[in-house]
Every structure is written in structure tokens, then in C-alpha cells.
């Protein structure tokens, strides 16, 4: 009888240990799931912040700059002012479309080679419209197809770099170059503006997403972003991205991140 009770006690202890192990395993699995969902939420919100900065805020700033330029001519040259206002209306509509795409992640189709180069030119020209700034876009090397993600990163970096030169640098000329190399595409945006002291950590520019956003976009494709500037010496922003790089955020991850927002 004593031996039977000992056996029963051992069996109960073994069952308790198994139950405790299962409970711990469930807690660990739940914590991993919560951490993954939190990471998805954070990643999605960061993406939205970058997109809104690169679309809505850039567009609104461009509209404000162009309105400030055209206002003095409303009474003195109404016909010329009317043409400028029509362009500002087009910019406002384009900004609205871009912001809507950013929020709903409605991605545009992949552009072919000539269309993409033209898109870079249009992006740069639109940002300097109404300002006394000369912009030039050059292409070197054999133009080759880029993935949708590559196109998006290049266009956003060009948009941010040119926009910064227009808003802050007081530049007179801006040069944008696309260099198609054997294994990577290299993009440079150079202005002759007043320049600034570049911090080693872009997180230090609190309240300004521009430089950090460009750096994060480059990193998402295993690329590199280099900003060189100095007071009175202009600014050079260089982006280098390998063709075969893969985005760190897969479509599955993005869908999981969107689903995770249900927790908020």
C-alpha cells in the first residue's frame, strides 16, 4: 500500500511538472506572438510616418512655397499668376493622391526604364517649380529595370533631398545624377546652397524625419546613404543600392503588421 501511494504521488508530481511545462510553453509562445505583433505595429507606423512625410508634408510645403512666390503677382500680373495657380492646384491634387496611396498602401505599377527616369525628372522639376533654382538630371551607364521597391526608394530619396535644398539650402542650382553600375544604382543629389553641419546620428534631428527617413529607406534594401555638407559649401546626398537587395519587410510581414493594428 505504501509503495502504491508513493507511485501515485510520483505520478501526480510528473503530471504537475508536465502541466507546468505546457503552461510555460504557452506563455512563451504568447509572449513571442505579442512581441511579433508589437514589432509589426511599430514597423507599420514607422512606414506610415515616412510615407506621410514624403507625400503629404512635402506636398503641403511645396504648395506653401509656390503660393508665397505667386501672391505678389496676383494684382500686377493676373494672367501669369493664374497660370501659376493652376500648377499649384495640380500639385495639391497630386499631393492628395500620394497621401491616399501612402495611407492605404496602394502601390503604383512598376515603371519601365524611360518612364522611371522621366519620373525622377518630373519629381525634381515639380519641387523647384516657382523658385529661382536650376535643376538638372543626368543619367550614366546602361539603364536597366528596377523593382518597384527600388523605384520607390530612389524617388523618395530624390524627393526629400531636392525638397530640403529648396526649403532650407537657399540653393541656386541642384544636380541629380543616376549612375547605373554593374551591381548597384548610385543616386546623387548635389546643391550649391548654404550647407549645414551633419550629425553622425540622424536621430539627433528631433522633429525632422527627412534624413532619418532616407537612411531607413536605404537600409531597407541593404543600401547606404551618405550625406556630406558643411556651412557655406553646399550639400551632397548619395544613395547606393544593390540591384539584388531584398527589402527587409516582406509582403507577409506587411500583411501581419496591418492585421496587428487590430490590437490598437
Domains in the chain (CATH in brackets) are 115-248 (3.30.565.10)
Residue whose C-alpha cell is 492585421: 259
User: DSSP string spanning 49-66?
Assistant: HHHHIIIIIHHHHHHHHH
Q: How many CB atoms are located within 10 Å of the residue 93 CB?
A: 11
In this structure, are strands 173-180 and 134-140 parallel, antiparallel, or unpaired?
Answer: parallel
pTM for the complete prediction? 0.57
Q: How many CB atoms are located within 10 Å of the residue 231 CB?
A: 9
**Integer Cα distance of 172 and 134 in angstroms:** 6
Cell of 150: 527600388
DSSP symbol at 129: T
Is the sign of the CA dihedral 244, 248, 253, 255 positive or negative? Answer: negative
> 181 near 241, Cβ under 8 Å?
no
**Integer Cα distance of 225 and 212 in angstroms:** 10
> 263 near 37, Cβ under 8 Å?
yes
> 95 near 55, Cβ under 8 Å?
yes
Residue 4's pLDDT is 64
Lowest model confidence (mean pLDDT) among 23-27, 169-173, 175-179: 23-27
Return the SS3 of 198.
coil
Q: Above 70 in pLDDT, residue 47?
A: no
Model confidence pLDDT, tens digit, residues 51-90:
666 666 667 777 777 777 777 777 788 888 888 888 788 7
Return the SS3 of 239.
strand
Return the SS3 of 247.
coil
Model confidence pLDDT, tens digit, residues 110-142:
678 888 999 899 889 888 877 789 999 999 999
Amino acid at each position: 500500500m505504501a509503495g502504491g501511494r508513493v507511485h501515485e504521488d510520483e505520478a501526480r508530481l510528473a503530471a504537475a511538472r508536465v502541466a507546468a511545462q505546457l503552461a510555460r510553453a504557452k506563455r512563451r509562445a504568447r509572449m513571442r506572438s505579442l512581441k511579433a505583433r508589437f514589432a509589426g505595429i511599430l514597423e507599420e507606423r514607422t512606414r506610415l510616418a515616412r510615407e506621410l512625410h514624403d507625400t503629404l508634408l512635402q506636398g503641403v510645403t511645396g504648395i506653401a512655397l509656390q503660393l508665397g512666390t505667386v501672391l505678389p503677382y496676383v494684382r500686377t500680373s493676373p494672367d501669369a499668376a493664374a497660370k501659376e495657380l493652376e500648377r499649384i492646384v495640380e500639385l495639391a491634387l497630386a499631393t492628395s493622391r500620394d497621401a491616399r496611396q501612402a495611407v492605404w498602401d496602394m502601390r503604383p505599377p512598376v515603371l519601365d526604364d524611360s518612364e522611371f527616369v522621366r519620373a525622377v525628372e518630373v519629381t525634381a522639376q515639380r519641387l523647384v517649380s516657382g523658385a529661382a533654382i536650376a535643376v538638372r538630371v543626368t543619367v550614366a551607364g546602361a539603364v536597366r529595370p528596377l523593382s518597384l521597391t527600388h523605384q520607390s526608394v530612389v524617388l523618395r530619396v530624390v524627393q526629400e533631398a531636392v525638397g530640403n535644398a529648396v526649403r532650407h539650402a537657399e540653393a541656386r542650382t541642384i544636380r541629380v545624377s543616376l549612375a547605373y553600375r554593374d551591381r548597384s544604382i548610385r543616386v546623387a543629389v548635389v546643391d550649391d546652397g548654404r550647407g549645414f553641419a551633419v550629425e553622425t546620428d540622424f536621430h539627433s534631428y528631433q522633429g525632422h524625419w527627412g534624413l532619418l527617413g532616407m537612411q531607413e529607406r536605404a537600409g531597407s534594401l541593404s543600401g547606404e546613404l551618405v550625406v556630406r555638407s558643411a556651412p557655406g559649401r553646399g550639400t551632397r546626398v548619395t544613395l547606393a543600392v544593390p540591384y539584388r537587395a531584398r527589402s527587409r519587410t516582406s509582403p507577409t510581414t506587411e500583411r501581419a503588421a496591418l492585421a496587428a493594428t487590430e490590437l490598437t
